[in-house]
Amino acid sequence: MRNYSIVRVGDEYVVQAGDKSILKVASRRRAAQLVTDAAELLNSLPPQHAEAEPSVASNPAEVP
């Protein structure tokens, strides 16, 4: 999971992932809920293997 933070900028709140700003909202409570929802979604994904590559056929007719 990434490192999320919520920063106040003027009257708005900016959600950041690492050093990147990714979302601006008017409510701190809404920003916190969005971060929680995103973290739950990311945690529900099955783990991906970097070494597994999808197979690509040069001619789709050759695929059984």
- Can you read off the two tokens belonging to residue 28? 């701190």
> Residue 64: inside a domain, yes or no?
no
> Residue 15: inside a domain, yes or no?
yes
> Residue 22: inside a domain, yes or no?
yes
Total domains, the chain = 1
CA–CA gap between residue 43 and residue 29 (Å, rounded)? 21
**pLDDT tens for each residue of 10-64:** 999 999 988 899 999 999 999 999 999 988 888 888 877 655 555 555 555 555 5
Residue 1 pLDDT more than 50? Answer: no
> Residue 10: inside a domain, yes or no?
yes
**Position 2 confidence tier, pLDDT thresholds 50, 70, 90:** low
Looking at residue 32, its pLDDT comes to 93
Report CA 26 to chain centroid distance, whole Å.
20
> Residue 23: inside a domain, yes or no?
yes
Looking at residue 11, its pLDDT comes to 94
Q: What is the domain range of residue 37?
A: 4-44
The DSSP result for 25-54, as a single string, is: ES-HHHHHHHHHHHHHHHHHSPP--TT---
The per-type count for the chain, helices as H runs and strands as E runs, is 1, 3
